[in-house]
A and B are shown apart, each in its own frame.
Chain A
Amino acid sequence: MKLPLYLDYSATTPVDPRVAKLMCDCLTQEGNFGNPASRSHVYGWQAEEAVENARRQVADLIKADPREIVWTSGATESDNLAIKGVAHFYHKKGKHIITSKIEHKAVLDTCRQLEREGFEVTYLEPSTDGLISPEQVAEALREDTILVSLMHVNNEIGVVTDIAAIGEITRAKKVLFHVDAAQSAGKINIDVETAKVDLMSFSAHKVYGPKGIGALFVRRKPRVRLEAQMHGGGHERGMRSGTLATHQIVGMGAAFAIAQAEMESDNTRIDALRQRLWDGVKDMEEVYMNGHATQRVSGNANISFNFVEGESLLMSLRELAVSSGSACTSASLEPSYVLRALGMNDELAHSSIRFSIGRFTTEADIDQAVEQSRNAVIKLRDLSPLWDMYKDGVDLDSVEWAAH
């Protein structure tokens, strides 16, 4: 079977071969296999050194102190630890949390759980281009607000939240600010020395590192307290117990170090590829790029091909590995909640494809994606009664549909 062309880097990335090599050196008897918590012999000391080196590599990418990095199993756990950890520690101070409607499920479902526990959550609505403004956050703050949790870069549409401006507002009000940076680390500059973020979630596998490892930045000054969600040996200063996975951690550290060194050149190249993709399809009628035009990361292109249904489009694009804003992601026929939160109508949301471009994408890949997308859209529009109606000048909103 011919493998499809991978254009789903926002879902996950392959491990960089340079990273994989270092990880393999931490597994077998000849390698650095010790338990980093073993204090009594060299196996433990070596493993600990590797873990601390990786901790510094992760901290360096965001200009943090290594002591502010807590290892977790991934961004989902980091989000859970940050949000539940803060809520459970500061619940006597207040019960109000602010987030947005377009957060990752790891944040939304965690907030839902806290609502069941008696917390109140405000879900901010994004603008039509997907942005949450600092003014919105300021307006939503209450006397009893303890936490604001917003993503740095949206996973579906790639827009960038102005975390520096929002951090100024939350800090002035002494409200903690958590940022999910799973989609931004290694793609845009993050500087927690200047941005007043208190907690930040990271994942390795979006940055050419391995799956199953992530980190949470927990600020030391001013100090942020958390209630642990995982109890055990008191690892990670009591915030997250469990034997540290040396090979995973080494992989994440190496991946973040490479990201730091190569971010600029990667971005320049990826930006050009994204433009090439958009230039290749934008002249077709009724094709839209979703999300803010400039306040975005380079690798994401979420495009709506109006009057073509997303799942059948994916079926035509079998030679491309991309994701859809439509049904295919689950058994339900619900269109993407992110696209709907932008105020997009359901049919346009159903017609959306997310192309995400990364380190190993080539110009030839993009040209192939353009050709296949154009052919598929033309074919499916020929099959589409909605396209017929649009061409006949029928206003689809005026039609009375028999919803089922």
Chain B
Amino acid sequence: MAYSEQVIDHYENPRNVGKMDEADAHVGTGMVGAPACGDVMRLQIKVNDEGVIEDAKFKTYGCGSAIASSSLVTEWMKGMTLDQAGEIRNSNISEELALPPVKIHCSVLAEDAIKAAIDNYKSKQ
């Protein structure tokens, strides 16, 4: 399968790989997917008192497109408000990474991860 340059770039040099303290009240954690389906994403955001995402981290088990999708959204989310981040759509991700049709589900999963992280953060407030 041929991968786009954008996917290869994120795959070779993933941005913001890491883990934050789940117990921290400023941290929202979203974990989506299932090992049986071949992809699991964990996306974490650190939100300041103004409601702006200061930092974002991810770890992903999955194909190159899944890794690239999660890496990309961590880049995008930093500096966004929660509302802005909540507006990121899978189509934005698949367009930016030039994902082929069979890999669209990776971008859907990344959108789900964003929503799950935001929901988790809000539930802690």
**Contact surface of A with B, Cβ cutoff 8 Å:** 307-312, 315, 326-328, 331, 333, 335, 345-347, 350, 382-388, 396, 401-404
Contacts and interface: CB of A to CB of B under 8 A. Distances in A.
B63 A311 contact: yes
B32 interface: yes
Given A385-B31, A385-B42, A311 B64 contact: yes
B37 interface: yes
B63 to A, nearest CB: 4
A404 B105 contact: yes
Given A331-B102, A346-B35, A403-B36, A384 B60 contact: yes
Interface of B: 1, 3, 11, 14, 17, 19, 31-42, 59-64, 66-67, 102, 105, 108-109, 112
Most chain A beta-carbon contacts within 10 A, residue among B63, B102, B112: B63
A396 B33 CA distance: 13
Given A309-B62, A385-B42, A401-B40, A350 B34 contact: no
A347 B61 CA distance: 10
B63 A388 contact: no
Contacts of A347: 35-36, 38, 61
Contacts of B34: 401-404
Q: Which 6 A-B pairs have the closest CB atoms?
A: A401-B34, A347-B35, A346-B36, A311-B63, A385-B42, A385-B59
B109 to A, nearest CB: 7
A394 B113 CA distance: 20
Contacts of A396: 35
Nearest to B62: A309
Contacts of A387: 61
Nearest to A333: B38
A315 B61 contact: no
A323 to B, nearest CB: 13
Contacts of B17: 382-383
A328 B1 contact: yes
Given A315-B3, A385-B40, 5 more contacts: A312-B11, A315-B63, A327-B63, A385-B42, A401-B36
A345 B38 CA distance: 11
A328 B63 CA distance: 9
A227 B65 CA distance: 49
Contacts of B35: 345-347, 350, 386, 396, 401
Contacts of B41: 385
23 contacts: A308-B61, A310-B38, A311-B62, A312-B11, A328-B1, A333-B37, A345-B36, A350-B35, A383-B14, A383-B17, A383-B59, A383-B67, A385-B40, A385-B41, A386-B61, A388-B19, A388-B59, A401-B33, A401-B35, A401-B36, A402-B32, A403-B37, A404-B33
A369 to B, nearest CB: 20
Contacts of A335: 38
A328 to B, nearest CB: 7
Contacts of A350: 35, 38
B33 A386 contact: no
A387 B35 CA distance: 11
B37 A384 contact: no
Contacts of B64: 311-312, 315
A224 B14 CA distance: 61
A332 to B, nearest CB: 8
Contacts of A315: 3, 11, 63-64
B37 A404 contact: yes
B29 to A, nearest CB: 10
A309 B41 CA distance: 12
B105 to A, nearest CB: 7
Given A335-B38, A383-B14, A385-B42, A404 B59 contact: no
Instruction: Give the residue among A326, A345, A382, A386 with the most B Cβ atoms within 10 A.
Output: A386
Contacts of B61: 307-309, 347, 383-387
